[in-house]
Structure 1
Amino acid sequence: MDRSVSPLGVTANVTQPPLNATVKPFSVFDGCEQYIEAILFDLTLQTINVIVGIPANLLVIAILIYNRKEPSTSDIFLGCLAFMDAYFGTMTPLNFLNLYLWHSKEVWSAIKFSFGVKDTSGPLFLSCICLDRFLAVLFPITFGQLKHIKYRVSLTALVLFLTFAYSATKMVGGFHNFEKVFTYEILAAFGWMVVCNASILRALKKSPSAGRDSMHPMKKKAFKMVLSILCIIIFNYLPPVALFPFEDHYSPDVFRCYVQPAGFAFMNISSTIQPLVHLSRLEKVPFLPEAWVNKICSCISAGSSKPASEQNTSA
């Protein structure tokens, strides 16, 4: 399930043709003409990342810088996650241009590197945010002892090292069963985040009085943040977690052309969903008119009993 070996997450046939054979013209749907729906779905979501995701992530970074005098302990993880998602979005236009115009091996290597960044940075930085909230809610004394920024900088450096090491290896390619690294990573990260967030929600809902409305305001903010992260985890990471480990149960063409790009598509769109969910939790968004903010938040928080303008700031 290594999407680094072909455009758009589809595994390419790398068998060299005979010398006298006619070279087949390049096609985005090479070998997947019967299963183009999943590839189109992935392309559509990657386009949304460019149109919506890049501005949203840049706005998140700007807000974190704007509020740097009163930072949250998770801000460094949120900022790195937003930067990585914005970077991944900027590579999509290059991917399109290289598919149809340039056909450059060097550009394709850069695109493979960006796929590695997306595969690794999202799950790992979300795991860091979950760990930060987990300690804050369930082990407040330990959290207080580890509240210094140096611990989060060290953890961020470790995540960046793992991300770039994985991405560089994916870019080089040629390693046997390297795709299994992603399978183990996503399964471990998904399991940790679900258990972690479920534990946090259970702890936050325990209150002397009945009902969530009786929560302390700080607990309410933490509850909303953790609940939003849990929704992101389930929507964006459950499809690949549920589908990819059962590769042997699909025919090669179905898995290569349908299951694989569909699973990665849900991960890719997290580059748009994550910053929008973060922005929807803010009481006031700098740099934007309040009417715009209310409109965006009402779309993200559809079905919520409260308007977005009444929501508390992020914990």
Structure 2
Amino acid sequence: MERNVSFPFNSTSLPTHFALVTADGINATVKPFSVFDGCDHQVEAILFDLTLQCINIVVGIPANLLVIAILIRNHKEPSTSDIYLGCLAFMDAYFGVMSPINLLNLYLWNSKGVWSAVKFSYGVKDTSGPLFLSCICLDRFVAVLFPIAFGQHKHVKYRISLSVVVLCLTFAYSGAKTVGGLPNFEKVFTGEVLATFIWMVVCNVSILWTLKRPRSSGKDEMHPMKKKAFKIVYSILCIIVFNYLPPVALFPFEDHYSPDVFRCYVQPTGFAFLNISSTTQPLVYLARLEKVPFLSDTCVKTCCIRVSAENKKKSPAQNSSV
């Protein structure tokens, strides 16, 4: 029988009962269902992932709900990327809500039905994050490098259509991940995250290079709007490198690891960095805001770890122009 080398939490196929069949066709022993699926004694990397998921529960869920509330509050003056940000925040909040259910199922319920629901949430996380971030990068890329085309396709219907396509891909991938049994299905995620990572890095580096170029007047000072766009793109690039570089660097070399090492150590470590993006993404968005509604400045500085020393030195006029 081919060995399943997928990570027990983000795995493609459900752990199943294995039966030993005697010569008379009678089942002799049955392996009990376990969500750890063979990694019961190699749990260090799994516990590392669960620790980061606890951060998603405590910090990520409130941060994503706050992002959604801010986007709804500002719906009369929306940014072109707001629909992508809203979908991303909703999916991250959903994934965070599923984390305590996953923990309870690991140590209390040990239910196959609950595990299927948890696997679906992992599929949503695997796909929605990279794809919606790619949409944001595409939006910024066209806005900076092709402003005329951006103005012609600025209507919200284009972004709604693209969001629907992303959601369909997300739910199709999540459904297939929940059902399981597809050969080499884990390579779909490896190909997806590798392609989106390259695309996002190329987009953001191109944008940063374009924004950094001096204006035709010869002045080195960057226009305030360009400076704001530069900060946004730079923050997205930091998220991409921190959260997506580990799986991109580890997963393509699956054949170089033993099955147990890849399943119990390499995959949980890579997915841990991907999963914590449910916290880093909303915090980076909130940190970019000059004023966060519903929260005091002290709370924002504490929760978002915002470095505001330079901003305090600036005049109010300077702050409003950035």
**Map of 2:99 onto structure 1:** 92
Q: How big is the shift at 1:177?
A: 1.3
Alignment counterpart, residue 148 of structure 2, candidates 113, 116, 141: 141
Aligned partner (choices 51, 57, 60) of residue 44 of structure 1:
51
Cα pair distance change 1:274/1:312, threshold 3 Å: farther
Judge conservation of contact 2:13–2:177 (CA < 8 Å) in 1.
Answer: no
Report if the CA contact (8 A) 2:102-2:115 is conserved. yes
- 1:20 maps to 28
Q: After superposition, what is the alpha-carbon deviation per residue over 1:11-31, rounded to whole angstroms, capped at 9, x for unaligned?
A: 887571323337468474843
Structure 2: how far apart are the matches of 1:308 and 1:96?
A: 46
The answer (yes or no) to whether the contact 2:56–2:279 under 8 Å persists in 1 is: yes
* CA–CA distance in structure 2, aligned partners of residues 62 and 117 of structure 1: 22
| Structure 2 match to 1:69 | 76
Runs of 5+ consecutive residues of structure 1 not aligned to the other structure: none
Instruction: Answer yes or no: is 1:248 the counterpart of 2:255.
Output: yes
Task: Name the residue aligned to 2:192.
Answer: 185
Q: For the Cα contact (< 8 Å) 1:53–1:89, is it kept in 2?
A: yes
Q: CA RMSD in A?
A: 2.7
Query: CA-to-partner distance for each residue in 1:216-255, whole Å, 9 max, x for gaps?
Result: 1111111000000000000000000000000111111111
Question: 1:100 Cα deviation (Å)?
Answer: 2.0
Q: Which has the larger radius of gyration?
A: 2
Out of 198, 209, 220, the residue aligned to residue 202 of structure 1 is: 209
SS of the residue aligned with 2:78?
coil
Q: Is the 8 A contact 1:7 1:28 kept in 2?
A: yes
Which blocks of at least 5 consecutive residues in structure 2 are unaligned?
Answer: 21-26
Q: Does the Cα contact within 8 Å between 2:60 and 2:278 map onto a contact in 1?
A: yes
TM-score calculated relative to the size of structure 1:
0.90
| Structure 2 CA distance for partners of 1:139 and 1:312, relative to 1, 3 Å | farther
Separation in 1 of the partners of 2:118 and 2:45? 20
Q: CA deviation at 1:276?
A: 0.1
* Structure-2 separation of matches of 1:126 and 1:308: 33
1:266 to 1:307, Cα distance in 2 relative to 1, 3 A: farther
Corresponding residue SS for 1:7? coil
Scaled by the length of structure 2, the TM-score of the pair is 0.88
Report SS of the residue matched to 2:19: coil
Which is worse superposed, 231-240 or 19-28?
19-28
Return the match for 1:235 from 234, 242, 247. Answer: 242
> What corresponds to 2:9 in structure 1?
7
Distance change >3 Å, CA 22–CA 121, structure 1 → 2: closer
Deviates more, 1:281-290 or 1:16-25: 16-25
CA distance in 1 between counterparts of 2:45 and 2:116 reads 23
1:305 deviation in Å? 4.5
- Residue in structure 2 matched with residue 82 of structure 1 by the alignment: 89
What SS does the corresponding residue of 1:20 show, helix, strand or coil? strand
Amino acid in the other structure paired with 2:223:
H
2:11–2:177 contact (8 Å) kept in structure 1: no
Contact residue 5 and residue 12 of structure 1 kept, 8 A: no
Using the TM superposition, give the Cα deviation of residue 61 of structure 1 relative to its aligned residue in structure 2, in angstroms: 0.2
Return the offset for 1:296.
3.2
- 2:269 — aligned with what? 262
Deviation readout 1:27-82 (Å, 9 max, x if unpaired): 7484352x432111101001100000000000000000011111100000000000
Query: Is structure 2 residue 133 aligned with structure 1 residue 126?
Result: yes
